[in-house]
Structure 1
Amino acid sequence: MEPSVESLYFPALSQGISKEWAEGHFADLDVTVEGQKFKCHRIILAAMSQYFSTMFTSGFKESTEKSVEIKGMKGDAFHLVLEYIYTGRNIVSIDNVEHVLQSASMLQIKTLQDLCKSFLRKNLSVENCIGFWRLTFLYSLEDLQALMWKFLVKKFPVIVNCMEFLSLHEGELLKIIDDQDLNTPSEEFVCEMVMKWYTANKNISSEVLVAIFEHLKFQLMDENYVRNLMTKFPKLNQIGPIKAMVDQRLLAELNADMLESSYRKEEIFCMVGTRSRMPDPSKTEVQCYSYQDKKQFHLAPLPIEPGPCFAVCTLNNDIYISGGYNQQHLVLHFSSTLNKWDQFNCIHDARWGHGMVAIDGYIYLIGGMSKTMETLSTIERYNPNTNTCEKVGNLKQAISSMTVAVKGSKIYTFGGKQNDRNASLLIQSFDVLEGESKVIGELPPTCAGGVGKTVTFGEDIFIIFREGNIAQFNETEGTEVVGVTQKFEHFGTVMKENKILIIGCASSNFTSYSFDPVFKKIVEIASEFKAPMCNFHLLRVILSKKYLVN
C-alpha cells in the first residue's frame, strides 16, 4: 500500500526542524533563563506555546525585541522543554517531572502538560504518591487529584514507612487521618503513626499536636492502649489538653450511638442473589466486595427466605428486598447502620418477578406475577417510615420479568413477559407525581424478552441485556443498541467511577466488563468480585467498617 502524503510529510518536517535547531541555523530570538541563553525560532515557540504566542502578538516590546528573559523557571528545565518542542521526544523522567510540569504549565504547552500527567499516572508509587499529590494542587491537575488521593489513603499502612510521610505538613496529615476511606488496620495504628510523624519533626509545636489529637478516634481505641499511651510517649504528660483527652476517654461511658458515629465508612459493592452451590444451594444472601481492600465480606443473614424472583433496590443507603416466590407479601429492610434486617408483610398484591425502584423517599413495586400466576399491572408504593403499602396506579399493559429504571419522577419498564408469557417489546412509563401511565415506544427487536439491568447516566438510561446487547434509551430520541458483550446466564450492573461495571457468569466462569457510556467503548477487565450466586443483583452501599468482616 502506498504511504499517504501526511505519513511522509510530517516526519520529514519534524526531522528538518530538529536539525536546524541543533545546528543553530536561522534563529531569530534569544531566550535567557537563569543566565543561560537559548537560540530559538519565534514561529516554532508560538506554534507550541500559548505563552509565547501571546507574547509575540501582544504589541508590547517583547513582540519585537531580539531577546527575552523568562524568570521563575529552571534553565535546565527550559532546555528540556525546547528539546520536546523541536524534536517531539518524550523528555519526562522521575528526576525532572516536577520542573518540566512547572515549565509546561507556565508556558502553556498543553501537550507537554498532558505528557507529564500521563507520567505521574503511570509512575505513581507508595514512595512518591505524596509528592505527586502535591503537584496536582500546585498545577491544578483536578483530574488527577482524586486518583492520587484514593491511592494515598488506600496505601496508608505502607506509605507511613516512606520518607515522604514524615515530610507531611500538619494540614496534610489532618486531611489524611480525617478521611472516612482511610485504610488502616486500627485506630491505634493511626495514633502510632501520628506519634511517629511528631517524633521525627522536632519543630512541631505542642499546639499543633493537640489540634491533631483532637481528630484521633479515641473512642474506638482499646482502653488498655489509651491507658498506656502516656507511658509509651512520656512527652504527652507535659501537654495538658492531650492528657485531658486521654483521661476523658478512660472515664467515658461509650454508648452505641457514639461508637457508630465514629467508625470509618467505606463504599462497597453488594451482590444479592441465590446461592448456586452447597451447602445451601437455594439460600438467598448478600455478599459484598471492597475494591479498596480487595476483600470479600458477608452481611447479616436474611431472617426469612424470599425464594427466587424477588426484587431489590436501595434507599438512603439501606437495602430493600420485596416479594419472591416464597414470600409474595414480604418487604425485607437491611439497615446499613445496624447491619440488621427487619421484615414486614405489607404488600397488597402478592407478587414475584416484579420490578422495584426508589424515588423521593418511597419504594415502588411494579407489575410481576401473582400467586395465581396472573401477570400484574398494579403499582404499589411502600412507605419506609410506616412500613405500609398503598396502590398508586397501573401500567398500561400487565408485565412481569421486565427491566425497570428511574429518571426524575418517572418509572420506566422495558420489555418483559406478557400474560401469555410471550416476550414484549414495549417501553412503558409511570409518572409518580401525575399518577399517569403511558406506552412510549418499543425496544429494538434484538432485545425482545431479554432479562436486563439498567443504569441511569446523565439524561440517558442504559439497559444491559443478558443476551449481551447494551441499549441506550432517551424518551425524546428513542432506543438504540450501542454495544455488545458476551451472553450471560446471571449478571449485575452498577456505576463505578463513571463507567458501567458489568459482572456476569456463564458456565460458572465469571467475566467483568467496563462500559464507557460517553464513548460507547466496552473493555473486558479482571473479575475481582466473584460469588457462587445466580439471579443476582448488584448494588452500591456505604457501610461502617466494623461490619466488613470476612
Structure 2
Amino acid sequence: MDVTNDVHSNSVLRDLNEQRGRAELTDVVLEVEGRSFPCHRAVLASCSPYFRTMFTSGYAEAKQERISIQDVSGVAMATILDYAYTGRLQTEPDQVQAVMSAARLLQVDFVGRKAAEYMKDHLDVSNCVDVLMYADMLADCGLVEATKKYVASRFDQVTLHPSFVQLPLNHLQSLLDRDDLMTNSEDNVVQAALRWVDFNQEEHLQHLSTLCKSLRQSLISTILRAEIENKLVSTDSKIVYSDNTTKRLGQVRTELQVFIREGFSDSEHFSDAECSAPCYDPSTGRLYAMNMPENLNSVTKSVTVTTDDELYLAGDITETGMKEGQKKFYQYNHLLNTWEPRCEMITPRASCGLVYLKGYIYAIGGDDTKETAERYNPSCDEWTSIPPLPHPISSKFCAVTLNDSIYVISNFEGCYSFSTTENKWSKIADMLYPTEHPQAVTYQGCIYCIECNGKCGDSSCVEMYNPTTDEWKMTGKYFYFFDTATLMTYAKTMYLLTIHSGDDPEFDTDRDGGCTTLNICQYEPKTDSWRSLKETQPVPPLARWLNTACRTKCLTVRMIPMCLGDPKAYEMDYCCVGGYSDDSFPENSDSDDPSDQEDSDEDNSVEDGQSETDDGDI
C-alpha cells in the first residue's frame, strides 16, 4: 500500500498551533520585550537555522527553559511565530521593516524575502528614501537597487520630500550619476544637490565639489552654475563638472498617442491585449505597449493625463469573491511601465468621468447615487468631496474640460458644467441629437461630441458645443453609419476615426470571416467640414482592436518608448491592415529605425456612400 494523506501536514501544524496557544507540551519560552511566547523547540528549529544551531549546539540556551531574544520586537516575533506554526505571513504595513529585520536575524528566509518584495511593491515618494537607507543598512543589494530605480523614476517629486536631504553622500552621488532620472531638466538635478547642501551646510558644503562631478555642465543654466561657484568660494574647492552630454531619460520623452478602451464589446478575441494599451508614434509609424494593472476590470476604468504627462487611472481590480466597485486609483510610472496605487477615492465608482484641470484630478459620477463628485490633489495624495451634480446621470456619459470648467455630457439626462472658480454646477444646453454612448474632445475653444457606439443601428453626426453662446450645432453635412467611432486631437488637429465591419474581402478579415476597415477624417475648421485622409496615417491601423471597445479614449502623452512593452499583443491586427506585413512588423520596440516599415493608405478607405471626389464632408 502506498497512499498519501493530503491533509496530514496541515492537520499537524494546526494541532501544534493549538498546543502553543494552550502552552501544552511546549518546552521553551521566548522572552521578547517583556512578552512570553511558549513554543516547541522542534517547530522553531525546523524553520529557523538560528534556533536549530541554538538548540543543537553547546550553547547555554540549549538547556534553558526561558530564552531572552534581543534586537527583535514583540510584534515581529509574534508574526514570525505565527508563520512558523501556520505557514501564513500576515502583518501590518508599518511593521514590515521590523519583521524583515527579525527574519534576517532569525534566518527565516521566506519571511525576509517576502518582506523585501512587499517593500519593493509598495514604494512611494514618501517612503522610498527611508527604504533605501534601511536596505543599505541590511546590505540587501536587490532592495537597494530596486529602491534607487524607483527614486530615479520619481526623481523630481522625491527631491522635494523632507527625507531626501537625509541621504548619505554615496547614495546621493550614485543617484545623480544615473542616466534614467525622470527629471524635466538638468537644473532640477542641480537644485536637488543644492537643497541637500543647504540642509546642513556645516557638514554638506564640503561635498559640493564632489557632487559637481555628477552634474552635466553643458545642460546646466548659467544662473545655477553661478550659484554653485558662489557657494564654493569659501571652500577653495576646484569645480570639476561631468563632461557627459547625454540628457537624462525624463528629458527625451517622445510624444505618443495612447489608446484606452473603456468597455468591451468583443474582448474574447483580444485577451492578450487586454492587459496593455497601444501607444503609437505617428512620426515613425512605430507601435509600443503600455502595461495596465493586472486583473483590471476594463468596463469600469477611466484614465486622464495631466499637463506634465502624468497618467492617472481609476479602475476596479476584479478578484474572485470580491465585490466590484473604483475606489481604486493609480498613477503611471513611466520608467518602470507600471501603475502605482494612490489614495483610494472617497466613494466607490464605476465608469466615472475622470478629468484633469489646473493641478487637480476630478472624478465625476459613477457612484450609487450617480451624482456625487470628488477632487484629488496630487501634491498631498488626498481626495476631497465637491458639490454633487444637480441631477443623477447614468454610467453612459463623458466628461471633458474647457477653460476653468468641467463639462458632463450624458445621453438623455442633459448636460452640465462645473465651474472650478465658483465651485458650482450649472445646466447647459442639451445636444440636438442626444447620444447613448457619448465621447467628446475639446478643440479650439469648443466641445465636439459623437455617439461612439454605432452598433445600435442609428445614424449619427458630430455635434459642436460653443460655451460662449451655449449652443450645439452639427458639423459637416451628413449623418452616417459605423460600428464604433472615436474623436481625437493630435498636433493641433482634430480627427474622426470610424470603424466599419462588412464583407469586402479586399480589407482586413477578422476571425469570423467578416472585414473591418478603419476610416480617418480630418476636421477643417474654416469650412466646418470633414476631409477623408488618403495618404497620411495619424493613428495605428488597429481596426479590429479599436472595434472591440464600447468607447476608446485617445490621449497624447510624452512617453519613453524604450521603457514601454512589446507590442506583439497587437501584431495580428497591426500586420494585417494598412499594408503592414509580418516581415515589416517592428519586433523590437526599442529600435529607433523606422525604415523597416512600409507606408500605405490601404485602410484609409472612404465610407460607404462617400465619393473620393467629395468636397470633404462626411
> In which range does the TM-score fall when normalised by the shorter chain?
0.3 to 0.5
* TM-score (normalizing by structure 1): 0.46
* TM-score (normalizing by structure 2): 0.41
Q: Which has the higher strand share?
A: 1
